Amino acid sequence: MSDTTGISFEALEGEAGFGDYFALLKPRVMSLVVFTALVGVLVAPGPVHPFIAFVSVLFIAIGGGASGALNMWYDSDIDAKMKRTRARPVPAGRVAREEAFAIGIALSGIAVVMLGLAANFTAAALLAFTIFFYVVIYTMWLKRRTPQNIVIGGAAGAFPPMIGWAVATGSISLESVLLFLLIFLWTPPHFWALCLFMNSDYSRAGVPMLTVTHGRRATRAHIFAYTLILAPVAIGIGFTSIGGPLYLAAAAVLNALFILGAIRLMRRDEEAAAGDHYRAEKRFFRFSLIYLFAHFLALLGEAALHQSGYWGV
């Protein structure tokens, strides 16, 4: 089919705009990467030149975005089956799979090398491992094989603050491992809450989500179990060099509310949940976002207070 200019619409569909390539990098995930990596840089001991910090966080974000593009390359078949992901550039036909792959690989290389040159090679090695972990271990190997996929995938999303810490210190320490664990243990309850009200989408795509393989009751129990394991880690950060009274107070309140929310979810049956259109599940999901954001914000507050000498340090 042609219009009066003689250009076929099929050709136009293949003409991606700049925004389509940007969408390959999963900008919303990138914003979380930027925030947590930046906190990692800022709370770490030792000054980092502002420009080095800016460039490092930028390339950590580009590395995260590159792994998103590689994820869209590999998962384009299942993305096409899910309502949530159907409009992504590859399944929508605006960007070719091969293009997504080329952009992902190229940006991965650029991000790792540039981070190594701008900051140090510990940070660059961690970024390279994060991309490898997310693309090969999670996307290509385990996502379609185990209902624990979210737990494994969460590890990839948990690396950015650790990389940020390595940018500032050139090393890995207890604090950066705890920051990793905070996101790692937060991801399953956060994502499983989403699955409770988006279940049919994953079933259609054949992804073995916990809600599909073990049922919603088991998923609710898993969410509760993870909030219990998460709480001591989150509060434990308060007793390290980056913690303090402000963080401890915030963590105590946030974790109490998170556990209470999980108990509420566990007590609900499917009839009640369907009856009010999964209101409690949606509220728990929204709160999980606030939970993580507030923890990192409290850490930033602590860093600011430490630096101003308010805590007498």
Partner 1 sequence: MGLAREHEMHRRRLGRNLGVGLLLGGFVAIIFGLTVVKARRGDEMRSYEHIRPAEQELAK
Write out the residues near partner 1 by the rule CB under 8 A.
Answer: 4-7, 11-12, 15-19, 21-22, 49, 51-52, 55, 58, 114, 117-118
Instruction: Report the nearest approach of partner 1 to the CB of residue 58 (Å).
Output: 8
For the stretch 258-290, what's the b/e string if a residue is b when 16 or more beta carbons lie within 10 angstroms of its beta carbon?
A: beebbeebbebeeeebeeeebebbeebbebbee
In the bound state with partner 1, the residue whose beta carbon lies nearer, of 49 and 86, is 49
- The Cα 307–Cα 313 span in angstroms is 8
In the bound state with partner 1, the residue whose beta carbon lies nearer, of 21 and 101, is 21
Residue 31's CB is within 10 A of a number of other CB atoms, namely 12
In the bound state with partner 1, the residue whose beta carbon lies nearer, of 22 and 141, is 22
Cβ neighbors of 145 (< 8 A, separation 6 or more) are 208
Provide Rg for the chain, Cα atoms.
21
In the bound state with partner 1, the residue whose beta carbon lies nearer, of 19 and 232, is 19
Looking from the CA of 137 toward its CB, the CA atoms found within 13 Å total 16
Instruction: Report the nearest approach of partner 1 to the CB of residue 8 (Å).
Output: 10
Instruction: Report the nearest approach of partner 1 to the CB of residue 89 (Å).
Output: 13
In the bound state with partner 1, the residue whose beta carbon lies nearer, of 93 and 275, is 93
Instruction: Report the nearest approach of partner 1 to the CB of residue 37 (Å).
Output: 17
Pair of tokens at residue 138: 């999670």
Instruction: Report the nearest approach of partner 1 to the CB of residue 69 (Å).
Output: 15
H/E run at residue 88: none
- The Cα 249–Cα 186 span in angstroms is 19
